[in-house]
Amino acid sequence: MARFGRFRRFPPKPVKVGEHYGVEITEVGARGDGIARVKNFVIFVPGTKKGDKLRIEIKEVRTRFAIGERAEEKPES
């Protein structure tokens, strides 16, 4: 019998702190942050707007979402 209550299981997160991803901002959140998704996992990216395509670095991972920021572009040598 399934037991509901205090402890909920969430699937493993598809992103980790420090990883880089190429994403497209598909929505804008209530606070104005751009929203991207990696394997349907929500990532908030401050300072972006809908339609931006960029490379991000994951800075924080929480239970239901992550926070990323624009990744620094490395100059080609």
pTM assigned to the model: 0.81
CATH of the domain at 32: 2.40.50.140
Residues counted in the chain: 77
pLDDT per position as a tens digit, 24-57 = 999 999 999 999 999 999 999 999 999 999 999 9
Per-residue pLDDT at 2 exceeds 60:
no
Domain holding 44, by residue range, is: 20-70
Measure the CA dihedral 76/16/68/32, to 10°: 150
Domain count, the chain: 1
**29 falls within a domain:** yes
**63 falls within a domain:** yes
**Cα 15 to Cα 2: distance, rounded to the nearest angstrom:** 29
